[in-house]
Amino acid sequence: MNAGADVRIAGIDEVGRGCLAGPVYAAAVILPPDHGLIGLRDSKRLSAAQRERLATQIRATGFDYAIGIATVAEIDAVNILQATLLAMQRAVAALRQAPTQCLIDGNRGPQLDYPTQTIIGGDDSVEAIMAASIIAKVARDAELSRLDQQYPGYGMAQHKGYGTPLHLAALQRLGPAPIHRLSFAPCAAAARNTA
């Protein structure tokens, strides 16, 4: 057995923090040292097809992965930063294996029961964080596509809840849906204008 056999580094990243609609997702991924994955990058730098392919491979080769979610109600109640940290905590808590260290993308991390390190730009430099970015993005995109069926007219399947011109126009026309974050200014303004 090699000396690194008991080292389980979890990479943690979030997706959807800047969106106007839908939950915020976080993923925690523990990769084996010899994972053999090719093409890992920050999920924003990959096409949808590349993300889907890599997500399938990560799920097959990772020691462990888990997803955590904070709902729109939680985002509006505690603010997006605290909800993001909550989603990260939930992702780590859902891992089957206890990590020996958690590497978190960004400059703020949640309170965890494990040693943690925040890394600005970690989704461009740490493979486990890149993998977490991909897992979270694919899961959240699937959820927003599902919500597009439940709340038609907003174009959620296209913009995934981000504040694109299409989304902002739909908000002004239709008003906010239950999946919109009313603590975000464009959603609050649309609610006032359509009240």
Into how many domains does the chain fold? 1
**How big is the chain by its Cα radius of gyration, in Å?**
17
Domain that holds residue 86: 3-152
SS3 118: strand
| Segments in the chain below pLDDT 70 | 1-5, 195
Q: Which distant-in-sequence residues (6+ apart) come within 8 Å of 113 by Cβ?
A: none
In b/e form, how buried is each residue of 102-136, taking b as 16+ CB within 10 angstroms? bbbbbeebbebeeebeebeebbeebbbbbbbbbbb
Residue 180 lies in a domain: no
Strand order in the sheet with 24-30: 64-70, 24-30, 9-15, 101-105, 116-119
In a domain, 185, yes or no: no
What integer pLDDT is reported at residue 5 of this predicted model?
57
CATH number at residue 81: 3.30.420.10
In a domain, 137, yes or no: yes
pLDDT for 135? 98
Q: pTM for this structure?
A: 0.94
In a domain, 64, yes or no: yes
As given in the structure block, the two tokens for residue 147 are: 């919500």
In a domain, 195, yes or no: no
In a domain, 173, yes or no: no
